[in-house]
C-alpha cells in the first residue's frame, strides 16, 4: 500500500491518508487491478483492507485523529455485515479506532445493484465508519447515486478540477455540486490538485479538504512529507 494525504487547508494539517494499492515490485494500481476478476475480487478486497489497516496501526500517530481512507469494491461485498467482520477484527487487533476509517467507492465501478450499495453505506455508517463517493462526476451513476443514498463525503473527480481556474463552465458545475452537498450535509473533498491556481479557485469556493500532487505524492508503506506552503 501507498499512502496519499488528504489536507485540511484551514488547519494546515493532514486530515487523513488514502491507502492506494501497489504491486510488491512497484507496479501501479492499474497494473494490479486489471488482474482482479469476478472470482478473485472478494479475497482481493479483503486483503487490501487488512493490509491498509495493519499499516495504519503502525504508521499513524495513535494520539491524533488522522483518518484512514480505504477504497472498496461494492460488487465484492456480498453481505455488508459479514464482509466487514475482517476489517473490524483487524482494527481491534492493531488498536486502530474504527471511527477513524473511511470507506470510499468509485462511481467508475458499474453498480450492479444500487440498492445493495445503499445497504452497504447504511451498515458502514451504522457501525461508525465514514463513507465517501470517489471520482464524483465521472462515473456510471452520477447524481442518481445521491438520490438513492447519501455518504458523508464526496470526492470531486480530478477531470472536473483540471483547468477550473480558467473555466467558467467548470466553476458553474462546481458551484452546483457545492449547493447540493450543503443541502444534504455532505463534505466535499477536491482531489487531483496540481496547481496553485486550482487550489486558490477551490478555496475561494469554500472547499477545505484537498488531495493532490501539489501537497505530496504517495509514499509506499510510509507517510510522505507534506508541503503546506502553497
Q: Where are the domains of the chain?
A: 2-155
Residues 135 and 154: their CA atoms lie apart, in Å, by 8
Whole-structure pTM value: 0.91
The closest of 68, 102, 40, 70 to 223, measured between CA atoms, is: 68
Contact assessment for residue 111 and residue 117, using Cβ atoms and an 8 Å cutoff: yes
By percentage, how much of the chain surpasses pLDDT 90? 64
In CATH, the number for domain 2-155 is 3.20.20.450
204 alpha-carbon distance from chain centroid = 23
What is the CA 32 to chain-centroid distance, rounded? 18
Query: Could you report the per-residue pLDDT of 68-119, keeping only the tens digit for each?
Result: 999 987 767 767 777 789 999 999 999 999 999 999 987 555 555 778 888 8
Confidence at residue 107, expressed as pLDDT on a 0 to 100 scale: 56
Least confident segment among 63-77, 108-122, 125-139: 108-122
Q: How do strand 187-191 and strand 101-106 relate by DSSP bridges? A: unpaired
Write out pLDDT tens, residues 214-225: 999 999 999 999
* Average pLDDT for 194-213: 96
Q: What mean pLDDT is reported for the chain? A: 89
Burial of 85 (0-12, 13-18, 19+ CB in 10 A): exposed
Amino acid at each position: 500500500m501507498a499512502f496519499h494525504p488528504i489536507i485540511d487547508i484551514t488547519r494546515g494539517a493532514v486530515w487523513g491518508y488514502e491507502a492506494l494499492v501497489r504491486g510488491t515490485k512497484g507496479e501501479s494500481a492499474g497494473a494490479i487491478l486489471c488482474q482482479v476478476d469476478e472470482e478473485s475480487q472478494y479475497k482481493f478486497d479483503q486483503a487490501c483492507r487488512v493490509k491498509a489497516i495493519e499499516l495504519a496501526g503502525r504508521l499513524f500517530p495513535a494520539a491524533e485523529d488522522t483518518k484512514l481512507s480505504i477504497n472498496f469494491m461494492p460488487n465484492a461485498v456480498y453481505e455488508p455485515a459479514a464482509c466487514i467482520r475482517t476489517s473490524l477484527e483487524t482494527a481491534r487487533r492493531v488498536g486502530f479506532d474504527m471511527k477513524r476509517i473511511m470507506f470510499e467507492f468509485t462511481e467508475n465501478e458499474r453498480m450492479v445493484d444500487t440498492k445493495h450499495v445503499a445497504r452497504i453505506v447504511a451498515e458502514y455508517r451504522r457501525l461508525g465508519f465514514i463513507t465517501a463517493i470517489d471520482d464524483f462526476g465521472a462515473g456510471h451513476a452520477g447524481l442518481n447515486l445521491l438520490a438513492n443514498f447519501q455518504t458523508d463525503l464526496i470526492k470531486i473527480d480530478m477531470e472536473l478540477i483540471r483547468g477550473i481556474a480558467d473555466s467558467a463552465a467548470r466553476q458553474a458545475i462546481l458551484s452546483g455540486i457545492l449547493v447540493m452537498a450543503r443541502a444534504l450535509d455532505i463534505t466535499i473533498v477536491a482531489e487531483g490538485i496540481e496547481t496553485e491556481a486550482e487550489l486558490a479557485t477551490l478555496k475561494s469556493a469554500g472547499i477545505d479538504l484537498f488531495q493532490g500532487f501539489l501537497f505530496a505524492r504517495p509514499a509506499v508503506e510510509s507517510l510522505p512529507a507534506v508541503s503546506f506552503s502553497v
